[in-house]
């Protein structure tokens, strides 16, 4: 029997998300999430997709190893255990692959060492990803484990886009450059957008707007990323749920010298207490829209700042690409907030961009066009699916190597 299942693991600092897929038809068999690992109030939620049955475990789960063991038990209860000969591989989301990893990679000791070496540029994410990998390896040492990097899709960026204008010797010594993130989503969505247009990825230029709690834009030229808004870390670029996105770097010196803040305080301010949340106290776009409907000026200004930044990036990436076939909205806000899509494209008729408000208002889980038939540039809503992309890349790699 050829194994056709792939387990996708996305390990955060205190969470573990997982999906088991059958790659014969890319269907989900089981999905779940362990939250608040290391706390007294941990929770595991597991769903067997075929029946929709969901089981929950509440109570302390000490670490990722215990979490993955509990997940393995839940899967086994559904006859989908990790010991099954049908399991082909485990695919891990790894946030930072630096310059080194340009493609999904079968994990061996040297790969683990390199992911470890990248911890200084991804202090929050890579340690958690490593823990997930090591735990999975301990459970199934014989099984191929594949790392799929958030940064890989962006490694095609030219040096002119990837380099900051600082002394290259200093930059190289500290591995400072623009890496970009959400790469699996940008890869998947740009490809699906081409498909929606009835074209091959290498026939189109797409601007992808991944607007979730984290947010990033990318310019994808003939299937290759040539520019993206996140940089050395996921702090650069668009206004996000709690991150500021772009600001004058001198704001940091000013906060330290004049504001008396420590580096850690500034880090927390810009990563966790800025963006929409910092501007108006809410980072959920639904709540912000509700407040705007009630005439709340603070929420309204936060929304305007958020939209203004997206518009600047659309314009910039239009110029980078020269010619654009489609602008694609994705992730929690991009897929669901019609008001954001409408406002982000408003006034861009000169660039050939427009939204048909009737199409824009339609709620659907599928990829769809929301621009008028006559528009020069297509505007699309394309739901992202990072787990499917990780599973697809993992399965393709394992298939190639077996």
Q: Which spans of this chain sit near ligand AMP (rule: CB under 6 A)?
A: 212-213, 241, 283-286, 331-333, 336-337
Question: 29, 22, 16: which is closest to 57 by C-alpha?
Answer: 16
Min separation Cβ 153 and ligand AMP, Å: 17
- Identity of the residue, 5 or 341, whose beta carbon is nearer to ligand AMP in the bound complex: 341
The least distance separating ligand AMP from the CB of residue 195, rounded to whole angstroms, comes to 21
What is the C-alpha end-to-end distance of the chain, expressed in Å? 13
Query: Contact at 8 Å (CB) between 181 and 125?
Result: no
Residue 221 or residue 389: which is nearer to ligand AMP going by CB?
A: 389
Nearer to ligand AMP among residue 212 and residue 234 (C-beta):
212
Q: Are 30 and 76 contacting, i.e. CB atoms less than 8 angstroms apart?
A: no
The helix-helix angle for 263-272 and 250-257 (nearest 10°) equals: 130
22 is catalytic: no
How many C-beta atoms lie closer than 10 Å to residue 222's C-beta?
Answer: 14
Q: At what angle do helices 183-196 and 386-401 cross, to 10 degrees?
A: 90
The least distance separating ligand AMP from the CB of residue 288, rounded to whole angstroms, comes to 8
Shortest Å distance, C-beta 28 to ligand AMP: 17
Residue nearest ligand AMP (C-beta atom): 332
Smallest gap, in angstroms, from Cβ of residue 285 to ligand AMP? 3
HSE-up of 377 (CA within 13 Å, CB side)?
Answer: 23
Select which of 25, 83, 108, 150 is catalytic: 150
Tell me the two tokens of residue 88: 């082909």
Minimum CB distance to ligand AMP, residue 63 (Å)? 25
Instruction: Give least dist CB 57 to ligand AMP, A.
Output: 23
Q: So which residues are the catalytic ones? A: 150
């Amino acid at each position: 029997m050829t194994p056709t299942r792939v387990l996708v693991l996305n390990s955060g600092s205190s969470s573990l998300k997982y999906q088991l897929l059958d790659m014969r038809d890319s269907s989900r068999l089981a999905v779940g999430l362990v939250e608040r690992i290391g706390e007294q109030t941990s929770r595991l939620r597991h769903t067997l997709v075929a029946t929709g049955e969901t089981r929950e475990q509440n109570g302390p789960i000490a670490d990722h190893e215990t979490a993955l063991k509990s997940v393995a038990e839940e899967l086994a209860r559904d006859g989908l255990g990790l010991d099954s000969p049908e399991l082909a591989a485990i695919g891990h989301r790894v946030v930072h692959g630096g310059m080194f990893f340009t493609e999904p990679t079968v994990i061996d000791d040297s790969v683990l060492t390199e992911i470890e070496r990248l911890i200084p540029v991804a202090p929050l994410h890579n340690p958690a990803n490593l823990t997930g990998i090591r735990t999975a390896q301990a459970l199934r040492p014989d099984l191929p484990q594949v790392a799929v990097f958030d940064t890989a899709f962006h490694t095609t960026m030219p040096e002119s886009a990837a380099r900051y204008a600082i002394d290259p010797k200093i930059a190289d010594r500290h591995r400072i450059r623009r890496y970009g993130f959400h790469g699996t989503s940008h890869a998947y969505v740009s490809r699906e957008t081409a498909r929606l247009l009835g074209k091959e990825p290498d026939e189109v230029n797409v601007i992808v707007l991944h607007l979730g709690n984290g947010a990033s834009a990318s310019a994808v030229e003939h299937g290759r990323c040539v520019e993206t808004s996140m940089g050395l870390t996921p702090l650069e670029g668009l206004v996000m749920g709690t991150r500021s996105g772009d600001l004058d770097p001198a704001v940091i010196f000013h906060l330290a010298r004049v504001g008396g803040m420590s580096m850690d305080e500034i880090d927390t301010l810009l990563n966790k207490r800025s963006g929409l949340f910092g501007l108006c106290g809410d980072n959920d776009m639904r709540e912000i829209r509700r407040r705007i409907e009630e005439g709340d000026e603070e929420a309204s200004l936060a929304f305007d700042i958020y939209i203004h930044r997206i518009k600047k990036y659309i314009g910039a990436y239009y110029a980078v690409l020269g010619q654009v076939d489609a602008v694609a909205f994705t992730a929690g806000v991009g897929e669901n907030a019609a008001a954001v899509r409408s406002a982000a494209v408003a006034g861009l008729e000169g660039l050939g961009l427009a939204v048909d408000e009737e199409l824009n208002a339609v709620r659907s889980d599928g990829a769809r066009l929301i621009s008028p038939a006559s528009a020069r540039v297509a505007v699309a809503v394309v739901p992202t699916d990072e787990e499917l992309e990780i599973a697809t890349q993992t399965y393709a790699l394992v298939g190639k190597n077996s």
